[in-house]
Amino acid sequence: MRVVITGGTGLIGSALARELGGAGHDVVILTRDAARAGPLPPGARAAQWDGRTPAGWSALLDGDTAVIHLAGESIASGRWSAARKRRIRESRVESGKGVLAAIRQASARPRVLLQGSAVGIYGPCGDEVVTESHPPGRDFLAQVCVEWEAATAEVESLGVRRAVLRTGIALSGAGGALPRMALPFRLMAGGRLGNGRQWFPWIHIADEVGAIRFLLEREDARGPFNLTAPRPLTNRDFSRALGKALHRPSLAPAPGFALRLVLGEMADALLQGQRAVPHRLLEHGYVFRHPEALGALRDLLD
């Protein structure tokens, strides 16, 4: 099967391309500059895309194609100025509209669309256990996720199966959040963020990729799925597990006011969280390889 991936050069997309290419699928990574896409995994190739329209790639779609839409500007690479918040939103919503337009134009509809999203859609939820039936929040990230998901919802009326990937914090030794979180611990300066009582909805990159492949292959998988480990931790407990995995103490908290001073509004994404659980993923029969944080961290950091 041909699998077209937007955001295929990012942390999750590149790991997914490697997995699917190794399984014998024809993987096409859509990128703004195909000539400079860099080394791609075996079985993967790049195709040009402007990130907004179906121009140049809608012909790739046919009845034996899947589309995995992960494109979106990183939320963690700088303070959230008004211009940056606009780019965060537009990179997701406008690219989703482009995916929808490409599927409309296709001579034969693809078999499935896996739509990227995040557990941030639920907003701050305190200690409440959050499943896929929880209503959306009202903060900036929640509203971005609502619009991101809505951008491709019409494909369902076109007869295309759609599953929504509400991802937590994907942990990988190759990049993303984990190396940044581990650095203070390596320097003997690690600890909780703020009061540490906020929930931390994490997932090992192997389970992120495994769950996406599982949903790709399950013909009955439709609607939203939380892609998080089944046992979320508070930030305090996760920090302790990280320190234990690195054989370092977890004694140097980062005060909330200091994070807000440095990061501005983006600090709220670190100081508030969701006790999200993968209810529907488990209900469909997915078996996690790394359900416990300490074992997952040791696997990634060894």
**CB-based contacts of 294: which residues, under 8 Å, 6+ apart?**
241, 244, 245
Q: What is the DSSP letter of 78?
A: S
The pLDDT, as a whole number, for residue 275 is: 96
Give the model's pLDDT for residue 165. 98
List strand residue ranges (DSSP E) for 148-281, in order: 161-167, 169-172, 175-176, 199-200, 202-204, 223-227, 233-234, 275-276
Torsion angle of the four alpha carbons 136, 148, 193, 292, in this order, in degrees rounded to the nearest 10: 80
Q: What is the predicted pLDDT for the residue at 38?
A: 72
Angle, to 10 degrees, between the axis of helix 140-150 and the axis of helix 82-105? 10
Write down the pLDDT at residue 151. Answer: 97
207: left (phi over 0), alpha (psi -120 to 50) or beta: alpha
Q: Is 33 a domain residue?
A: yes
Residues 6+ apart with CB under 8 A from 254: 191, 192, 193, 194
Residue 101 sits in which domain range? 2-168+204-227+277-284
Task: Flag whether 262 is in a domain.
Answer: no
State the pLDDT at residue 74.
83
Residue 295 lies in a domain: no
Per-residue pLDDT of the chain (302 residues), as tens digits, is: 999 999 998 999 999 999 999 999 999 999 887 766 778 888 899 999 999 999 888 889 988 999 999 999 888 766 778 898 899 999 999 999 999 999 999 989 999 999 999 999 999 999 999 999 999 999 999 999 999 999 999 999 999 999 999 999 999 999 888 888 888 888 888 888 888 999 999 999 999 999 999 999 999 999 999 999 999 999 999 999 999 999 998 887 776 656 565 556 556 667 788 999 999 999 999 999 999 999 999 999 98
Q: Is residue 222 part of a domain?
A: yes
CA atoms within 13 Å, Cβ hemisphere of 55: 6
Token output for 141: 């990230």
- As a whole number of Å, the end-to-end CA separation of the chain is 35
Residue 186, domain member (yes or no): no
Tell whether 210 is covered by a domain. yes
What pLDDT, on a 0 to 100 scale, did the predictor assign at position 27? 96
Long-range Cβ contacts of 74-79 (<8 Å, 24+ apart): 75/141, 75/266, 75/269, 76/177, 76/266, 76/269, 78/266, 79/263, 79/264, 79/265, 79/266
Question: How far is 221 from 133, CA to CA, in rounded Å?
Answer: 15
Angle made by CA atoms 220, 225, 112, in degrees to the nearest 5: 45
Predicted local distance difference test score (pLDDT) of residue 161:
98
In a domain, 234, yes or no: no
The CATH number for 90's domain is 3.40.50.720
Q: What is the predicted pLDDT for the residue at 191?
A: 86
pLDDT score recorded for residue 175: 86
122 part of a folded domain: yes
Per-residue pLDDT at 256: 65
Q: pTM for the complete prediction?
A: 0.94
The rounded distance, in Å, linking the Cα atoms of 69 and 301 is 29
Number of domains making up the chain: 1
Residue position matching structure tokens 């074992």: 295
Per-residue pLDDT, 276: 97
d(CA 111, CA 88): 28
